[in-house]
Structure formats: structure tokens, C-alpha cells
Chain A
Amino acid sequence: MHRLPASLKLGVALALIVGTVLAPPSWTAWFAGVAAVLALAIWFSRIPLLFLAKRLLLLSPFVLGAALVNAFGPAGGARWILLAARSALCLLAVILVSNTTPMSQILRVLQRVRVPALLITTIALMHRYIFVLADEAERMRRARLSRTFQRAGRPGWQMLATVVGQLFIRASERAERIYDAMCARGWK
């Protein structure tokens, strides 16, 4: 599963998702089929079930919100079950692909389907620096805590905003250095 070509995985996932979204509720066989394919994929990918369950439970507030809204609506539970089943299947497909495919391969597939180069560069850079900046934010938090620089045990909004603002400044300064480094390595 991890070694399959990324374009195949992305293509199959896209087909499954589009099919699941478009399938009318009466196509139970289709939903069962998708579930079976995904179950097989889970088996071969050897991703722990607990991890998948946790990700599914984080479904986002949407399913819950729609549940509340539909509970008062006249159409009731059946529609909501369909909705939840659809989004759970699609979510599983995306989680499986994203956990078995490195981002660089996904980007290569996007490049092959003619996504503009500037967008791909931006995505690649973002993916590279997400974790760097997250670390930077964490370091700033720790530095502040170690100086016990906080108001009555609870950080105020203004202080947090200063951290975010500082993060933006550091990110822009880093961008300049990165450009120099890219040029030094022969980026056109």
C-alpha cells in the first residue's frame, strides 16, 4: 500500500469519493463496495485502527451541526445517516491516502495534472515550513513561560497576539533568507 504509485492511489481515492458523493441513496451496493475496498486498503496499509477511529471522531463540527439541524427538520434521521455514512467513507479514503503517500509524491502528481508551478512551489514551501514555524511558536511560548511572563496565570489576548505578530515577522524574514539560499543553489 505504501509502495503503490501515488497517482494510482489518488486516482482511486478521487473516483471513490466522487462516486460516493454522487451515488443516490438507493445504491446500497455501491456504499457497501466502497466500504469493502477501504477495509481492504486499511488491512494492507497496516494503519492502526485506533488511529483511524480517532481521526474519524474528529469529523469536524459539521456532521454534528447537521445532525442537530436535521433532528428538527421533517426529513429526520435517515437523511442524516446517509450524510454521515457518505462523509465518513470519503474521510477514510483521504486519511488512507494521506497517511500512505509522502507529500512530495502528491505534489508530483499535481504537477503532472498541470497545476500551476507557482501554486506547487508555494504548497511545497508551506509543507516544508509548517513544522519549523510550529516549533518556533512553541519556542516562543516556552521562552515566555520560563520568564514567568504572564498575567494572573492566564495568557491575555494581547500577549498571544504579540506572539502571532512576531511569528509573521519571523516568517517574512525567513522567507528572504530562503530566497537567498534558493538562488545560491541555482534556483531560477
Chain B
Amino acid sequence: MHIPDGFIDGKTALAAAAISVAGVGVALRQVKRELPPRKTPLLGLAAAFLFAAQMVNFPVAGGTSGHLVGGALVAALLGPSAAVVVVTTVLIVQCFLFADGGLTALGANIFNMAIVNSVAGYAIYRAVCRVLPGVSGRVTAIAFAGWCATVLAAVCCAGELAFSGTVAWSAAFPAMAGTHILIGIGEGLISALVFLAIERTRPDMIAGTVGPDQPQRWGELVRYGLLVSLGVAIFVAPFACPWPDGLEHVAASLGFKHKAAPPLLPAPAPDYHFPGIHSAVGATAIAGAAGALIVFALALLLGRLLAPDRARGTSAGLEDA
């Protein structure tokens, strides 16, 4: 999902950079306030861990392989602000050292992968944890949060590409969201397995993430929520609300509205609208919504399967206390 240089135009880069600077600023201030000095090196080490973990390849059917992205996982383990700082660091090093992700697109990449991914992942993780107590609840929560965070980041990425006029929304949204609905399943599964592995070896590291001593992060989440909604309002909303209008707007701004030559279009659609294309946007949105339900059910099942001994009935609730 690393956007390279040249795919994002000036106005998008500036807007995304401004939002990202604000978001990372909030995160740094928050981290400074709540993280004891003892834990300062943990941020750097967590970033290095994320980078090393991304090199572990998980085999997928057909010879391909995937890897962890990890924003949601780090957010669940260290809290949202630390996760924003950690993922931002990974992105900066990838950009300067490995030329992975463009310099002008750094703001957009930080917005999608550090801010949206971590904050959404954390919010969903906490929300599900509250509903489902116990270890199996946490496994369910992290699996679902990993999936949602991946899909949301992909939607923002598609919005930025469309807002720049690089790729039309009608093509970018189904392509990005569609593939990441699938990739997100892997992300959720890996996150849950890693989470469980840590839970089994060092339960004390996990216990702090949901216990009663965990600070209520309303103020923090509201600030991030405002920034994320601002970004979504700029990049995604103009396309998402009335879909044909969004398409129309992109077509007009790209100037190819009238260039869509008649010979390209066969008889069934003599009008300007491509029949398949904006229904693809709708279909992807519906698939995403249905996918969320299915993935949540799968995550629930995963939690029960992986942590069966503690998930039975009321004992799960008692265990947290």
C-alpha cells in the first residue's frame, strides 16, 4: 500500500501532509506524557520489530506469500499513540533507506498506514474487547480489528489516488478495497496468532492492554477521530456519497468525459455511463459490508477455537477481574 512519488498531486500531498503532521504531533505529545522514560527505547525497538516481522513470509495458497502489516497489532499492544509513532518511524525509514513509498507521498502514506490503520485498529480492538471478555474475546477483537484497519486504510488510499486524478475512483475503489478485503483476512489471522503467541508466553504484556488500569483514552481518540474524519471528508467523501456524481466529477476533472469515444462503447450503453463500472463501486461497498459481518463471525470462531479452555460461559468474565 506504499504510494510512490508521482501518484499523488500537489494538493493531495499537501492536505495529507498537514493532517499527518497534526496527527503525529498529537501522538508524540501523548506518548511523552504517558510513557515512562524507561519505555522510550521500546518505541524504536517496536519499530525495528515491525520491520523484522514484515520480513517473515506466511505462505498463501498458490506459491504466493503474505506478511504482517501490524498497525492494529502494535496499537493493541502499546496503545494508539505509541503505534502512530512506531508505524510513522517505519514508514520514514522505508522511505529514506529503501525508497519504499515516495517522499511527496510520505504524508499520505503516514495518514493511511500509521494514523487510520493504528487508530481504527485500536478503537475496534477496544470496542470488541469490551463486548467479549476473556482471552478468546481479545483474539476475536484483534483479528477483526486487523481486518477492518487494513480495509479502511486501503479505502483511504483509493480516495487519495482518485482525489489526485491518478486513477478514477470507479476503478481505484474496487481494486484497492477488493484486494484488501482478502489481504485483510490474512492480516487479521496473523495478528491473532501472534497476539496469542505473546499471550501464552508473557501474559503480563497483554494484561495491561485491557485491564481496569488501562487509561480511558477518550480525549486522545476524539482528537484522532477528528483528524481521520477530516481526511476522509477530503479524500473519500466527495466520491463515496452519491456515486454517479463522484464518477462524473472525476471524469470532468480529468477531462475525459467527452473523450470516451463512442466506438469504445458497444450498443447496450449508448449513454456516457459505463454499465459495469459504477455498479462495481456499489458492489464492492456491499461486499465490504457483508465481508465485515462474515469476518466478524470468523473472528469469533477463531477466538473460540484458539482459546477454547477459557472461553466457556461466565468463567471468561470472571477471569478478567
Measured CB to CB, the residues of A under 8 A from B are 13-14, 17-18, 20-22, 55, 59-60, 62-63, 65-66, 69-70, 72-75, 83, 85-87, 89-91, 94-95, 97-98, 103, 106, 116, 118-119, 121-130, 132-134, 136-137, 154-155, 157-158, 160-169, 171-172, 174-176, 178-179, 182
Contact = CB atoms under 8 A, between A and B. Distances in A.
Interface string B100-131: 10111000000000000000000000000000
Given A119-B88, A164-B68, A172-B205, A90 B103 contact: yes
A7 to B, nearest CB: 14
Given A22-B10, A94-B99, A165-B193, 20 more contacts: A63-B4, A69-B167, A69-B175, A73-B171, A74-B256, A74-B264, A87-B4, A94-B95, A95-B99, A98-B99, A126-B44, A127-B97, A128-B48, A134-B55, A157-B59, A161-B194, A164-B53, A167-B53, A171-B49, A175-B46
Given A164-B197, A171-B49, A106 B6 contact: no
B192 to A, nearest CB: 8
Contacts of B261: 74
18 contacts: A55-B99, A63-B4, A66-B7, A69-B168, A74-B264, A90-B104, A94-B99, A98-B96, A118-B32, A122-B89, A126-B47, A157-B189, A157-B190, A161-B190, A164-B53, A165-B197, A172-B205, A182-B41
Given A69-B171, A75-B259, A126-B89, A133 B102 contact: no
Contact of A165 (B13, B40, B201): B201
A183 to B, nearest CB: 9
Nearest to B60: A157
Contacts of B39: 175, 179
Contacts of A179: 37-41
B233 interface: no
Contacts of A106: 96
A165 B198 contact: yes
Contacts of A123: 44, 47, 89, 92-93
Contacts of B59: 154-155, 157
A175 B118 CA distance: 22
Contact of A119 (B58, B77, B89): B89
Contacts of B52: 130, 133-134, 136-137, 167
Contact residue range for chain B? 35 or more
A37 to B, nearest CB: 16
A21 B99 contact: no
A61 B18 CA distance: 26
A133 B90 CA distance: 14
Q: 6 nearest interchain CB pairs?
A: A125-B44, A165-B197, A86-B6, A90-B5, A161-B193, A87-B6
A55 B95 CA distance: 13
A103 B59 CA distance: 33
A122 B31 CA distance: 12
B44 A124 contact: yes
Nearest to A170: B49
B86 interface: yes
A158 B44 contact: no
Residue in A13, A65, A155, A165 whose Cβ sees the most chain B Cβ within 10 Å: A165
Interface string B159-198: 0000000111001100100000000000001100111111
Contact of B41 (A72, A75, A83, A178): A178
B160 to A, nearest CB: 12
B145 interface: no
B132 interface: no
B197 A122 contact: no
Nearest to A163: B56
